[in-house]
Amino acid sequence: MKISLIQPGRNNLKYLKWSYDSIRKNQGNHEVQICVADDASSDGTWDWCLEMIDKDPNFNAIKNDTGKRLGHTILYDRLINEVATNDICMIYHADMYLCPEALNAIEKHLTDKTIVSLTRIEPPLHPDGPEKILQNFGVEPEEFNEDGLFAYLQSTDSEREIKTTEGIFAPWAFYKKDFQEIGGHDPLYAPQSKEDSDIFNRFQLNGIKFIQTWEGCVYHMTCRGSRRNTVDKAKNIYEDSPEWLAQNLISTRNFVRKWGHLVSHDALMKPIIPPKYDIGFIIKNVNFKLLETLEPWCSTCYIDGEWSISKEYIFHEQLNTLYSLEDKLKPYNNEKNNEILVEIDGNTFNQQDFHIIQNFSRIIEDSGEIGEFILGNLTIKIIQINEYQNKLISL
């Protein structure tokens, strides 16, 4: 099998070197192109890339020399579209060790219209989950217990060999044509966070089947790309960096704007995609905080009160989204063109009402009826019920 591994990196050279060595050691008889993007690093990453380009004919790299972070949301796609030479690619993190036989497992399961994820073996830095294996073989390359990992893999080989589930997460292998068919990652989420959940939704809606092979594994030190990279603004490997937390909040709000719900998946990480509806909020007694809370959850906001609140909100929030907030926020007396309308009074709106709004897609899906009704302090008028999630597949 010929496969291109896609690895953006920012100030994580220690992990890139560790990951590179594991790939070359355990790639077997597969032809593996390693594609690295240096995202404005200051730790010598580009010097190492130039050295590896000279040494390894199947190593390619690009450099973001703007001085400003682009993020893996952008650089994944540049590597796939501009650098990768193979029909099969794999999104692969710098803090992952490729286990023996992993690429054999990908070749075994990857067919047309499928995506294959390898199973992650991780140290206990995050809560356990049924989609991964929690085993501690070190949290830094210099303390990595390779012999212990190999012994564990050998002892569990027979039970893992026959197991597959339907989750999707990094590392995930795919045909480049399936990636390009939907336009790749959405730059809405740049530089990072929620871009994976977005593209997984779009893959599933486009008929892609997900396979997690438990036969093929990586050892994953977790979150060293930026979230918990101590060379790049994180205090330590146990706390998320302030930069990541801030961007995660921005990306979460953009995910809600696009899909109308929070990220949802089953226990084994297969996406759950509620319908997307055309919803308008008619808001009385609005204030800045209420508008900030509600705006991402609808297609249009009709606002009663001082228009200066809307202008202030647009001034602060427009920098965080590609959606035009000027088009989204309308005066209260504007013609109401949405298919579903929700009347909200800021004087009575409470946490229970917000919980209803957060689950509104499922409520409408379950109801399925045209008409008007009241939930909590919300008056809801359903004029039409059309679903729009399939319009989100391609960029």
Look up the CATH number of domain 2-259: 3.90.550.10
Choose between 373 and 235: higher pLDDT. 373
Is residue 294 scored above 70 in pLDDT?
yes
Q: Where are the domains of the chain?
A: 2-259, 279-389
Mean pLDDT of the chain: 95
Per-residue pLDDT at 180: 98
Is residue 231 scored above 90 in pLDDT?
no
Q: Which helix (H) or strand (E) holds 37?
A: strand 31-39
pTM: 0.96
What mean pLDDT is predicted for residues 219-244? 76
What mean pLDDT is predicted for residues 204-226? 93
pLDDT in tens, 60-82: 999 998 988 999 999 999 999 99
The pLDDT confidence band at residue 303, using thresholds 50, 70 and 90, is very high
Under 8 Å between Cβ of 15 and 224: yes
Is residue 3 scored above 90 in pLDDT?
yes
Distance CA 213, CA 166 (A): 9
Query: Cβ neighbours of residue 245 under 8 Å, at least 6 residues apart?
Result: none
Q: Residue 196: name the closest of 185, 204, 205, 180 by CA.
A: 185
102: helix, coil or strand?
Answer: helix
What mean pLDDT is predicted for residues 361-378? 92
The pLDDT confidence band at residue 234, using thresholds 50, 70 and 90, is low
pLDDT in tens, 262-283: 999 999 999 999 999 999 999 9
